């Protein structure tokens, strides 16, 4: 199959890089087209995929179109997209753009899929949720899981859950980075130099995440394995509990979900 990328930003680049690195597709199977900047030219030069000269050139022979430009650009997208995408599978990674809106732009597509990747996709460690409101053929389902799987794990959800997905995994890396910064700053306040505090914070997060993945038990169980009665970890967790750490994170996720719902109305 030939896959066309309309847009060549971070997520398109992550998908292309993953497909090539995992030998899921060859460079000759992929083509891209960007806007006025050099992102598409740079992606083509770096990976060896085709740099299309026009929409017609991009979609010539393509079975699947990955829509990867900035979400706000959808309103001014080339009106010929509806015609040129006829009969093709369309996969959108435009944050906040619902299936109903996408189907207005791609009314003659064979099927339309909406997905939400996250930034760890740039290193193949992402998680991408996707949805569609129509039954996919076995071939199209395989295409979706192959393309999205190039960036990491893949989860299918109903569209009604996509705003929650955005709040948890889409925005979630930023919460983790903020936690890492706070843990680093706490280490500095406790007397560590900045470099040591950052190394200890980052490596602790990495190790804890790997342990959580490999042990496959509830995070509360792993937490309890660290805690000794009236020990140092207990003292720290008591302060978290007093400040309602979980409640704050719940509010963070719900605020992000509410904003996602607002943006999805555009």
What angle in degrees, to the nearest 10, is found between the helix axes of 194-215 and 219-226?
A: 130
Dist. CA 74–CA 223, nearest whole Å: 45
Nearest to 132 by CA among 88, 96, 162: 162
Q: How many domains does the chain have?
A: 2
Nearest to 6 by CA among 93, 133, 102, 128: 93
Listed residue (179, 220, 235) closest to 202, CA to CA: 179
Per-residue pLDDT reduced to its tens digit, 63-77: 999 999 998 889 888
Same domain, 127 and 251: no
For residue 21, what is the domain's CATH number? 3.40.50.720
> 86 and 209 share a domain?
no
Could you give the CA distance from residue 17 to residue 152 in angstroms, rounded to a whole number?
Answer: 12
pLDDT for 37: 82
pLDDT for res 242: 97
Domain shared by 175 and 151, yes or no:
no
Q: Would you say how long the chain is, in residues?
A: 266
Structural domain boundaries enclosing 148: 3-162
Within this chain, do residues 146 and 179 fall inside the same structural domain, yes or no? no
The mean pLDDT of 81-104, rounded to a whole number, is 95
Q: Model confidence over 225-244: pLDDT tens digits?
A: 999 999 999 999 999 999 99
Identify the pLDDT of residue 21: 94
pLDDT (tens digit per residue) in 185-209: 999 999 999 999 999 999 999 999 9
Residues 23 and 149 in one domain: yes
Cβ distance 145 to 39 under 8 Å? no
In the predicted model, is pLDDT for residue 263 greater than 90? no
pLDDT classification of 146: cutoffs 50, 70, 90: very high
Which pLDDT value is given to residue 266?
67
In tens, the pLDDT along 154-174 reads 999 999 999 999 999 999 999
Q: 135, 162, 189 — which closes off a domain?
A: 162
Residue 36 above 80 pLDDT?
Answer: no
**Residues 81 and 19 both lie in one domain:** yes
Regarding whether 70 and 174 lie in a shared domain, the answer is no
pLDDT value, residue 35: 81
Query: What spatial distance separates the first Cα and last Cα of the chain, rounded to whole Å?
Result: 33
- As a whole number, the mean pLDDT across the chain is 95
The single residue listed with the structure tokens 């979980």 is 246
Rounded Cα gap, residues 258 and 127, in angstroms: 21
What proportion of the chain, given as a percentage, has pLDDT over 90? 91
Q: Does residue 32 come out as left (phi exceeding 0), alpha (psi in the -120 to 50 range) or beta?
A: beta
CATH code (residue 243):
1.10.3730.10
The predicted-structure confidence for 9-28, as pLDDT tens digits, reads as follows: 999 999 999 999 999 999 99
Distances (CA, A) of 121 to 5, 148, 183, 198, 238: 16, 9, 24, 23, 35
């Amino acid at each position: 199959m030939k896959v066309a990328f309309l847009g060549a930003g971070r997520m398109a680049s992550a998908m292309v890089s993953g497909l090539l690195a995992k030998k899921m597709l060859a460079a000759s199977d992929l083509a891209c087209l960007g806007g006025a900047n050099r992102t598409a030219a740079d992606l083509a030069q770096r990976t060896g995929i085709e740099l299309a000269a026009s929409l017609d050139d991009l979609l010539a022979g393509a079975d699947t179109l990955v829509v990867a430009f900035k979400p706000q650009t959808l309103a001014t997208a080339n009106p010929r997209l509806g015609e040129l995408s006829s009969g093709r599978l369309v996969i959108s990674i435009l944050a906040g753009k619902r299936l109903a809106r996408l189907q207005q732009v791609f009314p003659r597509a064979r099927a339309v899929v909406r997905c939400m990747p996250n930034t760890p996709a740039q290193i193949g460690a992402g998680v991408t949720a996707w949805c569609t409101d129509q039954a996919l053929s076995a071939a199209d389902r395989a295409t979706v899981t192959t393309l999205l799987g190039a960036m990491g794990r893949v989860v299918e959800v109903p569209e009604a859950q996509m705003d929650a997905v955005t709040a948890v995994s889409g925005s979630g890396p930023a919460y983790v980075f903020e936690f890492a910064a706070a843990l680093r700053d706490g280490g500095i306040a406790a007397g560590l130099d900045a470099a040591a505090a950052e190394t200890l914070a980052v490596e602790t997060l990495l190790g804890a995440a790997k342990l959580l993945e490999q042990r496959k038990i509830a995070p509360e169980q792993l937490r309890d394995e660290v805690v000794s009665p009236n020990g140092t970890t207990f003292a720290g967790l008591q302060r978290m509990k007093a400040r309602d750490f979980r409640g704050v994170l719940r509010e963070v996720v719900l605020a992000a979900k509410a904003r996602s719902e607002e943006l999805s109305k555009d």
